[in-house]
Amino acid sequence: MKNIFIYRNILFTLSVRDIKAKYSQTFLGILWSVLQPLTGLLIFTIFFAKLIKVDTHGIPYPLFAFTGMIAWYFFVFIVNQGGMSLVDSEYLLKKIYFPRLILPISKVLVGLVDFGISVILLLVIMIISGHLPKLTLVYFPIFLGLTILSGLSVAIWLSALTIRFRDFQHIIPYLVNFGIWMTPVFYPTTLIPQKYQFVLYLNPMAGIIGGFRWCLLGDVRPPIQYLVGIIIMVLVFITGLIYFDRIEREIVDLI
């Protein structure tokens, strides 16, 4: 972490480069960050609110679903982009030295741009619908930090393993995309039978999304059992850092 601070200029340079590359030569530019989540929200609202009519504890369904979506999409972005960051920057790794961990971390800063735009859009929708933020909004940074930590815990492992085993670049993103169905992103946890609730407790993003809904929308506070998934995520993050540190010197030779 000390080396990352020393090389922080490279971290910010890489992040700015990726942000510019993402929106350059596009007709709508940054508006894509608004249109993409709104399109998904429209589909989920029609299916779950209009057809299935799920109970969201008095919270308007678009707010309920959108809160889960912005957290999940941020997590997925970190995993997919951070996990492929070393392979995608092969030319850079062979030219100059810098802490390799900077590459997956830089993707967090890139993803924060889209996440920030989505949060602003969510607040606008909340104000228009008359569902004003609660005092629990002060806990928002905690759940934002947990989302970043959760995404990096997978991305760091994925970036390190992909160097040796390229199959992981196909397997992990597929599993993560499938994970949206195992996470209460667009449906409430009450749809899951009580005897299967333990599956949600093992999923750190389930508790984190519940936390976002609690602090932003005043939904039910997530039960303490979700700490199981958070603890697992922290252990995965720590072991990922250890493994990454072990192979860092070999990355240029292996890539």
Residue with tokens 């860092």: 248
Average pLDDT over residues 25-42: 69
- In this prediction, residues 226-238 reach a mean pLDDT of 95
Domain ranges of the chain: 7-254
Q: Does residue 255 carry a pLDDT above 90?
A: no
The rounded mean pLDDT for the chain is 86
Instruction: Determine what percent of the chain is predicted with pLDDT higher than 90.
Output: 40
Mean pLDDT of 70-94: 89
Mean pLDDT of 193-214: 91
Does the pLDDT of residue 27 top 70, yes or no? no
Burial 189-225 (b: 16+ CB within 10 A, else e): beebeeeeeeebbebbbbbbbbbbbbbbbbbeebeee
Over pLDDT 70: what percentage of the chain?
A: 93
The pLDDT tens digits for 140-168 are 999 999 999 999 999 999 998 888 777 77
**Residues 180-187: contacts with CB under 8 Å, at least 24 apart:** 180/72, 180/76, 183/68, 183/72, 183/209, 184/68, 184/209, 184/210, 185/65, 185/68, 185/69, 185/71, 185/72, 185/209, 186/44, 186/48, 186/65, 186/68, 186/69, 187/48, 187/54
Q: What's the rounded mean pLDDT across residues 89-95?
A: 82
Q: Can you tell me the distance from the alpha carbon of 58 to that of 36, in angstroms, rounded to the nearest whole number? A: 26
pTM of the model: 0.90
Tokens of 199: 């599956």
Query: SS3 sequence, the chain?
Result: CHHHHHCHHHHHHHHHHHHHHHHCCCCCHHHHHHHHHHHHHHHHHHHHHHHHCCCCCCCCHHHHHHHHHHHHHHHHHHHHHHHCHHHHCHHHHCCCCCCCCHHHHHHHHHHHHHHHHHHHHHHHHHHHHCCCCCHHHHHHHHHHHHHHHHHHHHHHHHHHHHHHCCCHHHHHHHHHHHHHHHCCCCCCHHHCCHHHHHHHHCCHHHHHHHHHHHHHHCCCCCCHHHHHHHHHHHHHHHHHHHHHHHHHHHHHHHC
Tokens of 36: 């993409």
Highest mean pLDDT range out of 56-70, 88-102, 103-117, 152-166? 103-117
